[in-house]
A and B are shown apart, each in its own frame.
Chain A
């Protein structure tokens, strides 16, 4: 049997750090980085006698996330202790939620590789505290504990095993990321670990109703490694089954360098977390009014923006999808369009050149250093013919380096387009003289030759000549010959 005979079943447990100013049970800052053990206090260091007090913002943010993903909100929730020993867990228990998570039974819509709509159900969203960080081998052979991250609030979003491919997994995660960004509960910086996922993968023969044995890849924090990891696991599991073997339920570590998974712990180490309600905290009771107020305060979600873009700005579905996938890009688009009035141009710039540069530089959209004013001016300068689109691309690169008004940039760099008829005619004549073959080609009916001539002229003027004028003038001059 081949891969086509198998169905892939994937479920994701996504951890998102919440963007609250202070930690979940004390008033230490949640800020990323900082010298080790400077963002902590007796409470998040679990000194004897200290007690947690729940940060109400955390509940609010989790409820926002729940409402934005169509969850039911639990009005009578609580915190539970998850007990285990590890040096990054100072209390030897993590305060989490066990049987009464704040949100449950939600769903989000995604598209699969064929462009079909798929609904991925969300089992639950619960709040919990992050652990600290171990820095291995910094001094001699030992490990050092940094508790800056201990107590940073997280939500864990658990999906049903509704995902059927690595593409769906990626689309699901992208959708989730964009929702969390829109509602401003997490900055979702994957490289800083503020959004990470545990990926559960299993396979079964098509038509089979029972789920196969799953493996879990822990703490994946890039789209690329999630896709690669899933593909690897699918192949590994199918090969194993085809060879007559059995998939073992185990926790795996994905290694990006070797491109394979490794077993993290075996079954003998199976943890019994001894969950029980945290007696230091009181029940979380949410009124209808509280939940309704949060619902009313939710901003427009990507789904609705997407539809508006198609309707209002006449963008294609693909364009609208791509733009709304990131709140920052979407905001940049709306703001730029409102200034320059040219939605199509704004969309094109964002989806082609800006996205390309972000990719090349491995930047997140929210790290774009220039503003919508800059982009709008750039578009206006092209429209006015002040610069060519070739120059505009150079201006954009410059905007990423040293953000400034585009008009300033082209002035300083001397990139203003040559639109003076005399100057352009001079270049045209010079090029015609140098390339008699192209002239002959054009006369013989090869229209494309004009392109070559314009290219030469651009080269001659370092891209500054007005391309429309060049076109017109080449035709005029050749016809005169």
Chain B
């Protein structure tokens, strides 16, 4: 096996046994980027020289972390001091943050080495990474397919072996859906577990930073690094630090799993459905009890999500006004022109669509009918999950109702694109942890993923459930083929 094919825990083991060196790891990944990036287009910024320098500093320093020198890729909406943070937008094409996001402080404290900033849908709005201002990222399993989104660059880079793991952000499925499309593991932690300070906000009450990794053990390892209370984020939870790797017991005996019937009705792809049914079988075999359950409000979750997310986005993106930083139009005669033209020229169509939607639902006269109603439904969704969690330890659904689609096939149909989030958005609305785990390939050899949803801050439970499935199945034998 090539180094770039290994998981991080495997790398650590080989390092421990002195079978490989940290230099070899860095070189292997940087070579892999040189080889595959032209096909996959996962990076907005490759920090080849900076990474080498950072690596040198870590080697010279006395960082005793076992992760010191291990490379990582970062979604381009997480602020990195001195390295461009573009959110894949023309608006921030040349923006360099003067500060590091809290997660970057943690990553840097471990001595990890940032290989680059990864492509995404502009401002994390989208499910295919086609809404990037810079480039369209390709799915390593089939270069004609999307990698999913919005963390499509992160997912594709991990799947292609260009980074051993990556950070992404998930507002409505933006980690889990691309993880599922690219055949890797994607974890969205409970809202408040990971600090949002330095994550460029899309929808503040839904955004959460999480991990994209080759397997579940790596998710636990990386979550150990990034989780924790942060005084700079008022919505960050004051929770004791946990070691999530300790939760991986390879045992689900007695685990109670609920499978909401609502996610297996109309619209779900037959091959996906069959694959999830096999997952259910496997869990039963492993000693878990699996029952059909109901999430009544699932139907309303998507509408609720788009109202809340767009409302918050319309306000969060107001600061991109051409005054202090970012893109400013050359075409203006007065202040109104600066605002109107900078924003018209600096934002892409999808971002503008959501700003307009959000502005509308917050407008006086419409607030009660949309935003307020959506917040009420949000409470219902939370209660519905809570009701289910009285009976079940985890809830299992498909991550997406279908596999990765062809590039360009949905770009002109926003509603169709929004429907791709159906299975993932309720989790953000309720602020719960969710993980996507690969469970097979369809007839076209495109990956399928299933999602496990846990109680608030029950990352350990879903990680163990995911790990147990993974340990007793062999998805890993499949490798992306970079098919043209």
A residues neighboring B (CB under 8 Å): 42, 45-54, 81, 83, 85, 87, 90-93, 145, 272, 274-276, 279-282
CB-defined contacts of A282 to chain B, threshold 8 Å: 234-235
The SS class assigned to the B binding surface is loop
Contact present for B200 and A87 (CB under 8 Å): no
A48 in contact with B324 (CB, 8 Å): no
The CA of A85 and the CA of B198, in the complex, are separated in Å by 23
One of B35-43, B249-257, B360-368, B440-448 contacting the partner: B360-368
Complex contact B319–A54 (CB within 8 A): no
Whether the pair B234, A51 counts as a contact (CB closer than 8 A) is yes
Q: Which of B85-135 contact A (CB under 8 A)?
A: 85, 87, 92, 95, 97-99, 101
Complex CA distance for A51 and B207, rounded to whole angstroms: 13
Contact, CB under 8 Å: A90 / B324:
yes
Specify which chain B residues have a CB less than 8 angstroms from the CB of A50 in the assembled complex: 197-198
B346 to chain A, nearest CB (A): 13
Q: How far does the Cβ of A319 sit from chain B's closest Cβ, in whole Å?
A: 50
> Contact partner of B362 among A90, A276, A279, CB < 8 A?
A276
Picked from A45, A49, A81, A85, the residue with its CB within 8 Å of the CB of B321 is A85
Given contacts A47-B325, A48-B95, A282-B235, contact A276 B319 (CB under 8 A): no
Most buried by B among A274, A281, A282: A274
28 A–B contacts from the bound complex (CB under 8 Å): A42-B97, A47-B98, A47-B99, A48-B85, A48-B95, A48-B97, A48-B320, A49-B79, A49-B85, A49-B97, A50-B198, A51-B233, A51-B234, A54-B234, A83-B315, A85-B321, A87-B323, A91-B319, A92-B315, A145-B324, A272-B363, A274-B315, A276-B362, A279-B235, A279-B312, A280-B201, A280-B204, A281-B234
Q: Which residue of A lies closest to B364 (CB)?
A: A272
The total number of A-B Cβ pairs within 8 Å is 97
Specify which chain B residues have a CB less than 8 angstroms from the CB of A272 in the assembled complex: 363-364
For the residues of A in contact with B, the DSSP-based class is loop
C-alpha gap A306/B280 in the complex (Å)? 79
Would you call B364 and A48 a contact (CB within 8 A)? no
User: B205: which A residues are within 8 A, CB to CB?
Assistant: 279
Residues of B within 8 A of A279 (CB): 203-205, 235, 312
Contact A49 B362 (CB under 8 A): no
B371 at the interface (CB under 8 A from A): yes
* Of B92, B335, B362, the contact of A274 (CB 8 Å cutoff): B362
Whether B97 lies near A93 (C-beta < 8 A) is no
Name the contact of B197 in the complex, choosing from A45, A51, A54, A276 (C-beta under 8 A): A51
Q: Known interface pairs A87-B335, A276-B362, A280-B234. Does A49 touch B319 (Cβ–Cβ under 8 Å)?
A: no
Interface residues of B in 67-97 (CB under 8 A from A): 77-79, 85, 87, 92, 95, 97
- Cross-interface CB contact of B232 among A53, A87, A90, A275, cutoff 8 Å: A53
Docked pose: A281 CA to B234 CA in angstroms: 6
A281 to B312, CA, bound (A): 13
Contacting residues, chain B, for A91 (C-beta < 8 A): 318-319
Looking at the assembled complex, report how far the CB atom of B28 sits from the nearest CB atom of chain A, in whole angstroms: 31
Report the bound CA distance from A281 to B236 in whole Å.
10
For residue A53, which residues in chain B have a CB less than 8 angstroms away from its CB? 231-234
Taking the closest CB of chain B, its distance from the CB of A55, in whole angstroms, is: 11
B457 interface hit (Cβ, 8 Å):
no
State whether A280 touches B92 (Cβ < 8 A): no
Q: Are A46 and B196 in contact (CB under 8 A)?
A: no
Report the separation of the CA atoms of residues A216 and B375 in the bound assembly, to the nearest whole angstrom.
35
* B315 lies within 8 A of A93 (CB): yes
**Complex alpha-carbon distance, A85 and B311, angstroms:** 16
Q: If A274-B315, A280-B234 touch, does A49 touch B198 (CB 8 Å cutoff)?
A: yes
Contact (Cβ within 8 A) A92 B319: yes
**Complex interface: chain A residues within 8 A of B311 (CB):** 276
* Cβ contacts under 8 Å, B319 to chain A: 46, 48, 90-92
Among candidates B199, B200, B233, B367, residue contacting A276 with C-beta atoms closer than 8 Å: B367
Are B199 and A49 in contact, CB atoms less than 8 angstroms apart? yes
Closest to B339 in A: A85
Nearest-CB residue, chain B, relative to A85: B339
Residue pair A83, B362 in contact (C-beta under 8 Å): yes
The answer to whether A48 touches B367, judged by C-beta atoms less than 8 angstroms apart, is no
| A274 and B324 contact, Cβ closer than 8 Å, known pairs A46-B319, A48-B79, A280-B234 | no
Residues in A whose Cβ lies below 8 Å from that of B367: 274, 276
Q: Which residues of B contact A87 (CB under 8 A)?
A: 321, 323, 335
Tell me, yes or no, whether B359 is within 8 Å of chain A by CB: yes
| A271 and chain B: residue at smallest CB distance | B364
On chain A, the residues within 8 Å of B339 by CB distance are 85
Given A47-B99, A47-B325, A52-B234, decide whether A83 and B318 contact each other with a Cβ distance below 8 A: yes
Closest Cβ of chain A: how far from B352's Cβ, in Å? Answer: 15
Q: In whole Å, how far is A330's beta carbon from the nearest beta carbon of chain B?
A: 40
A274 and B359 within 8 A (CB): yes
Which of B231, B335, B362 has the most chain A CB within a 10 Å cutoff? B362
Q: Which residues of chain B are near A48, meaning CB under 8 Å?
A: 79, 85, 87, 92, 95, 97, 200-201, 319-320
CB distance from B428 to the nearest CB of A (A): 12
Please report the C-alpha to C-alpha distance between residue A149 and residue B312 in the assembled complex, in whole angstroms.
Answer: 25
A433 to chain B, nearest CB (A): 81
Distance in angstroms between the alpha carbons of A145 and B335 in the assembled complex: 13
Give chain B residues whose Cβ lies under 8 Å from the Cβ of A46: 319, 324
